[in-house]
Structure 1
Amino acid sequence: MAESTCFQDTLNAAAERLFALLDRFHQAEILVIGDLTLDEFLTGQVERISREAPVLILRHEHTRQIPGGGANAVYNLAKLGAKVKVVGLVGKDPQGEALRAIFEAAGIDTTGMLTATDRPTVTKTRIGGHARQSVTQQIVRVDRKSDQMPDLDLQMQLAEYIRSQIEDVDAVVCSDYGDGVLTAPVIEAALSHKHTIVDAQKGLERYRHAKLFTPNLPEAEQAVGYSISEPQSLVRAGQDLLSKTAAEQILITRGDEGMSLFESRDGESECWHIPAFNRTDVFDVTGAGDTVVAALTLSKCAGASFWEASVLGNLAASIVVRKFGTATTTVEEMKEAFQTLLDEGI
């Protein structure tokens, strides 16, 4: 209780500064390299059981398409007001066209989105059904993706485009979902920027010397090779990750336990813990990590300290987890949520 009160006091003292940082989000220009995914949600009403097989027949009602995977990181940055350039691959298919159209409608520069004729756009189609006057429930998910690495020529084209943009952006974000875009030539090009932020599900060592890593707890455990179950192992893991990645900063997101920050300074590491905001109102954590990365990146570009940037990343996540499905937030929503925290407390 005392720790929470102390954090609340610190938050109150930093309020004016944090509001000012939010006002500067729109000034940043970000290059995002990611495994681009289209999330499809197909829903309908159950009519009857099929005579062909023991399966439901749905009367289609609507299909919703939104950015997922690395594309969600791109979209989050755009919705927070940043100028965004996206780098990645899509297939020559309607899903790739849909994703490109969504980005362009949001003002995102899609010049670095290359088309791979031999690969599908990574697509996750969730099919849901409902009876009359009942809630929709997911029945099955259909995934489309390739397990093959992109052609070397495509890899080099992506790397060449990244190098051509490095001098014109404030930060580079690598959103690695393991779908093949972040190959060695692409990673090497991304790391040529001094402010490269990495959100990778595995293989953190491939990004050695990036400035900042943002693993969640399971990803951190996989990277260090042991369970993180108490404060001592958490601190040890943060220190081991700093050493393993040669990064300046590590942010471990811990769900309803908040976030833990680790920073390397002059050969020594510092550690802070930020509690979760609004932990009782969590509906869906899908894509929350992408939201953290987006708000954290823009905060750093606005001149925030690591602690300030992490607080704003935490704040942004606390908003999207109260929405169903892959979601985004805006600066105005963040300001309203922050004011509520100041008025009502954590």
Structure 2
Amino acid sequence: MSLSPNFTTRLTQSVPRLEQLLERFSGQSILVIGDLTLDEFMTGQVERISREAPVLILRHEETRQIPGGGANAVYNLAKLGAKVTVVGILGQDAQGKALKSIFTEAGIDTTGIISTPSRPTVTKTRIAGHARQSVTQQIVRVDRKSDEIPPLEIQNQLAAFIQQQSSLFKAIVCSDYGDGVFTTPVIQAASQHQRVIVDTQTDLDRFTGATLFTPNLPEAEQAVGYPIKDSISLQRAGEDLLKLTQASQILITRGEEGMSLFNATESEHIPAFNRTDVFDVTGAGDTVVAALTLALGAGGSFWESAVLGNLAASIVVRQFGTATTTVAEMKQALSKLLKS
């Protein structure tokens, strides 16, 4: 795709610096506090209609299990080379064991996870089917989760771990999907760190004073209470979000319109790097947060970090389902971007 001449010039001048930052991704210690989800994808071939009820009978072919929700942010950071420690809650069930195993295989430190029999592991099971000569399509999704707030004992255990360990990390990422991890003690413990990146869907002011927030457009509109439909309302929203959160920076991700970065003195707009080859935006926000956090930890400016977050997202949206990218892929994509 074509970028504006001014942005292209700035990006071209920044390439050596961006490449240096990518080289520094590896080995950074990052703490992720998150609502951990297991995404299950079950697929099968339609055999017939059941005689018991008017429903399809599928012959099971495959079940894939991958990190979702806050677990996707964890996994993205690990795939980009970070040394990740994760804080969250899992159930003492097969899904919790599966997610913990995925983390362990990826070299992720799971000592901050509390496993409890009192609630299930948040699990989203997507069941899809196909006929012999048709494409596979999703039929139904089954969710497992608890709407109960975790007991105070668990809240305090999570908070104590964060307080004890936070000084060991370059940054703390708060990946809030509304599934109960982010209680007051946990948020207060996380907020003591000097670099806190928040990705939350609602009630941004709970994390007042964090370094940077990354709402998407609908989340930003919900937070400010009015539609963002042009450059004037966008600028107003950025300013209102800064007041609401007392953050250093607000990054509004805007899909095919790119990203907008705001601080107390200026705003900057970064165009989308990929508008045409978009197959699935699931989890792209987690990828933005992962790359952006590592760029900040490597010494990047907020603009440089947002550009690398944007670049990482432009890669994963080319793939179906929740996906990750690597530093090598990002370097290749950066090179191609300047040639397009």
Q: Report if TM-score (shorter chain) is over 0.5.
A: yes
Query: Helix, strand or coil for the counterpart of 2:188?
Result: helix
Gaps of 5+ in 2: none
In 2, the alpha carbon distance for the partners of 1:70 and 1:275 equals 26
The C-alpha deviation readout for 1:212-236, integer Å capped at 9, x for no partner, is 1000000000100111000000000
RMSD (Å), alpha carbons: 1.0
**Equivalent in the alignment of 1:233:** 233
The C-alpha deviation readout for 1:232-269, integer Å capped at 9, x for no partner, is 000000000001100000000000000000012xxxx2
Q: What amino acid does structure 2 have at the position aligned with 1:131? A: A
In 2, the alpha carbon distance for the partners of 1:12 and 1:62 equals 45
Query: Helix, strand or coil for the counterpart of 2:334?
Result: helix
Of 278, 281, 286, the residue aligned with 2:277 is: 281
Tell me the CA shift for residue 151 of structure 1.
Answer: 0.6
**Equivalent in the alignment of 1:183:** 183
Query: Helix, strand or coil for the counterpart of 2:286?
Result: helix
Tell me the CA shift for residue 343 of structure 1.
Answer: 1.7
Tell me the CA shift for residue 34 of structure 1.
Answer: 0.3
**Equivalent in the alignment of 1:28:** 28
Query: Helix, strand or coil for the counterpart of 1:118?
Result: coil
CA contact (8 A) 2:191 2:210 kept: yes
Residues 1:319 and 2:315 are matched in the alignment? yes
Residues 1:204 and 2:200 are matched in the alignment? no
In 2, the alpha carbon distance for the partners of 1:2 and 1:70 equals 33
Tell me the CA shift for residue 3 of structure 1.
Answer: 7.1
Tell me the CA shift for residue 271 of structure 1.
Answer: 0.2
Tell me the CA shift for residue 27 of structure 1.
Answer: 3.3
Tell me the CA shift for residue 6 of structure 1.
Answer: 1.1
Query: Helix, strand or coil for the counterpart of 1:54?
Result: coil
Q: What amino acid does structure 2 have at the position aligned with 1:209? A: G
Q: Specify whether residues 189 and 132 from structure 1 end up closer, same or farther in structure 2 by C-alpha distance, changes over 3 A only.
A: same
Tell me the CA shift for residue 5 of structure 1.
Answer: 1.5
Aligned counterparts, 1:127-206, within 5 A: 127-206=127-206
In 2, the alpha carbon distance for the partners of 1:218 and 1:324 equals 22
Tell me the CA shift for residue 133 of structure 1.
Answer: 2.5
The C-alpha deviation readout for 1:171-191, integer Å capped at 9, x for no partner, is 000000000001000000000
Q: Specify whether residues 72 and 3 from structure 1 end up closer, same or farther in structure 2 by C-alpha distance, changes over 3 A only.
A: closer
Residues 1:79 and 2:52 are matched in the alignment? no
Tell me the CA shift for residue 2 of structure 1.
Answer: 10
**Equivalent in the alignment of 2:293:** 297
In 2, the alpha carbon distance for the partners of 1:326 and 1:2 equals 27
In 2, the alpha carbon distance for the partners of 1:275 and 1:3 equals 7
In 2, the alpha carbon distance for the partners of 1:67 and 1:193 equals 26
Instruction: Report how many residues are paired.
Output: 340
Query: Helix, strand or coil for the counterpart of 1:67?
Result: strand
Tell me the CA shift for residue 135 of structure 1.
Answer: 1.2
Q: What amino acid does structure 2 have at the position aligned with 1:283? A: F
In 1, the alpha carbon distance for the partners of 2:16 and 2:130 equals 47
Residues 1:338 and 2:338 are matched in the alignment? no
Gaps of 5+ in 1: none
Q: TM-score, normalised by structure 1?
A: 0.97
In 1, the alpha carbon distance for the partners of 2:106 and 2:263 equals 34
Tell me the CA shift for residue 40 of structure 1.
Answer: 0.0
Q: What amino acid does structure 2 have at the position aligned with 1:76? A: N
CA contact (8 A) 2:316 2:325 kept: yes
Tell me the CA shift for residue 31 of structure 1.
Answer: 0.3
In 2, the alpha carbon distance for the partners of 1:318 and 1:215 equals 17
In 2, the alpha carbon distance for the partners of 1:224 and 1:210 equals 18
In 2, the alpha carbon distance for the partners of 1:123 and 1:135 equals 25
In 1, the alpha carbon distance for the partners of 2:151 and 2:281 equals 34
In 2, the alpha carbon distance for the partners of 1:272 and 1:225 equals 22
